[in-house]
Structure 1
Amino acid sequence: MHDIKAIRENPAAFDAALARRGLPPLSLEILEIDAARRAKILASETAQAAQNAASKQVGAAKAAGNDAEFERLRALVAQTKTDIATLTEGAAAEDSRLRDLLASIPNLPLPTAPDGRDESDNLELRRWGTPRAMDFKPLEHYQIPAALPGLDFATAAKLSGSRFVVLKGAMTRLHRALAQFMLDTHIDDHGLTEYWTPVLVKDEAMFGTGNLPKFAEESYQTTNGWWMIPTSEVTLTNTVAGDTLDAAALPLRMTAHSQCFRSEAGSAGRDTSGMLRQHQFEKVEMVSITTPETSLTEHDRMTQCAENILQKLGLPYRVVVLCTGDMGFGSTKTHDLEVWLPGQDTYREISSVSVCGDFQARRMNARYKPAGGGKPEFVHTLNGSGVAVGRCLIAVLENGQQADGSVDLPAVLHPYLGGKTRITTVGGLG
């Protein structure tokens, strides 16, 4: 949500930031609604003062036996009461219009976010690791002999339709091991606090993180009104909704492993093979709640936490900063981690780490008390994948594949797999 006071004070800067997002100027429309709302509020307050004064005069006219004046004043009070109700209702309608408009506008990019129209304009910051030279043609994950027995798309289609998978045997255990490894690393090495949260949430929670109202079609809603979370960013971030925190308690650093659900609306025809883009998947999420002064430092720290996961797994990757045309709705700056997939001969996103400033905090009304005193201020929120479990499974399979169709597994996963080091050509752990 945007600060109406900031828009009033510098509408040109607001429109310039929207232009970097490829959006038309909106400050004039916003300020016209705001002016109408404020005018109705002022008129209502003025009418209320007049009503109060007339009410006092009614008693005086009655006591003086002035029946004509009494009736005139009583009629005036009644009419003013009606006028106040009309003005109050009008102010509420304008307030709703203003809130709906502000809620539909994406966050403003930081000056350090590069300008651009789409992902082709993203800027690479760094790379880690060298893709392994293979003396055979690398396969995509769903083609590797070792993976075939454990990736059952046919049964998933029978149960649920397209873009689902049933994992079996070694694939299930590897998937579970990856999630546990990620959690342990974030808790033990990075100092995050583990949470377990619901996957069904109310409208307010989805609104708080910016998923509603704009992205309703990309999420699933139950018949009794709950929403299925697209990521535990929704639940973790909303743990502070409506709260006023002490500055000394910040930053809050949270992590959770959860099921995630996305309709993938608008992605028809993209990544239809395999399990790269699914309706149901798992992620280990990171969320931080900070003060404004520390949020950019925290953004770099969270990016490094996600990078550490990939480094421990020995997976080559690159870090890019998203351009203004490719950033998410609530983000003011985003780093993407793209892991190397030899089967596709390219880097693919496996984590997005975003700083949102006070954008989500205003929607949630989440504040903190400054250490030096003064009135509460809005917190800053950050979120990032640490990382997407299914996509990490894909990367492990493709980067570890061997010429005979088996898969060598990263050493850090061996303790989670009972000491097993590979997946055999027939799909068993060995």
Structure 2
Amino acid sequence: MSGTLLHPRLETYIETVCAQVKNREAHKLIREDINGHFTDALEDELERGWNEEEAVLRAIERLGQPEELGRSFHLIHQRRVDWPAIMCLAMLSFLGILVTIGNMRDMPFGQHDTMPWNTIAGVALGLGLGAAVFFANPRHIQKMWPLLLFGTAVLMLVTLVVGSSSRPFWGPKSLDGFDVFTMSPYLLALGLAGALSCERWKSHWRAWLLVFTVALMQILFALDGSPVLIVADIMLFVALVRHREVLWRFAVVAVPALVLGVRMTLIRLPLRYVVERFTIAFHAGTAPESIGYENYQTQLLVQNAGWFGHGMGGHPFLLAGSHGVFAFAELINLFGWSAGAVLAGVVIWLIARLWKRGMTLSQPFAYQSFLCLMTLLSFQLIYPMMIGLGVFPIIGVKMPFVSGGPLPTILALSSFGWLLNLLKRTEYRYQRAVEM
């Protein structure tokens, strides 16, 4: 509570009210709310000519019975778990295991025995981390934002310098087998949310430091050649474009343009090839054996699946590529168009539900972290479905849950745990003051 209480009687009254409210994090808001109403009532009573002691008693009496008021506040600030969303996540996790098992034949040699177990382990670990994050105190995470933002940038730089790659000259690098760049956008989302929710980091030298950090992250993604570059770009664009400062507009417009130029120069790709690579999905049939092969095969797979698919073990088509990228097409091949429609409906419903609820958040860090992470998750879930239909350019972004890859699933479940943690805290819908 800000300020000092005007009278000991009010302190006793507030303690009685707060004793009825189990959500302790809401007590500060309740104390401020009651004190504000008390101050208005006290001024009104003093204007009526009552002495201070009598005015205090009358002002407190106007607030109502403390037990009844406390029960009302308890109902308002009671934590509400989004069970429908949790059930959707559990269903997606189970479906991902089925799709992985059903497509073992399509997997590269040596992954037939390990991929299903990796998928199960990823789901189990993701659920565990998601539950841990769900019960964590967001204030502890908020205090760590400088480490999350600048520490992740350093980790990316170290990976780029000493990491290993499966490609001799160009390709995503890992640090001792760990995919740092796939994990980075999620850590950067929390770090960026902490910076943007802190007023003193929006101006002067601190703002420039953030801009240069954003530029560094972009250049590191470009040098690594990671497909998550576009995912990070979208998250950064959504997070920064809302700010009216010229400096943030510079970060949004100039930095991606610079990175695009650096990337084009380093990998020496002609512009015509880049344009064709991103438009071939719309006319894959004109180059079914060259640049349009993967899109064309994906379209054939989906078109011949039927309403109920070919079942487990039925594979009339074989996709040459990553199981994770084409997981949605393989789902349709197994269970048909009906299953694809159900999965798409569940995903869209879940995303729309969380977006609608998240827009009510008013606590700065909660809102910014929701905006960043929900942008990442929405793209990670929807874009691979379009790839699976063969109508969007293939950029190597794996769909969480269904892809079978443990890391995307772990990151998605942990992020959803964080989002559901924020949404259950009703006090974050009323706290409008910028913290820190």
TM-score when normalising by structure 1: 0.26
| Greater share of strand | 1
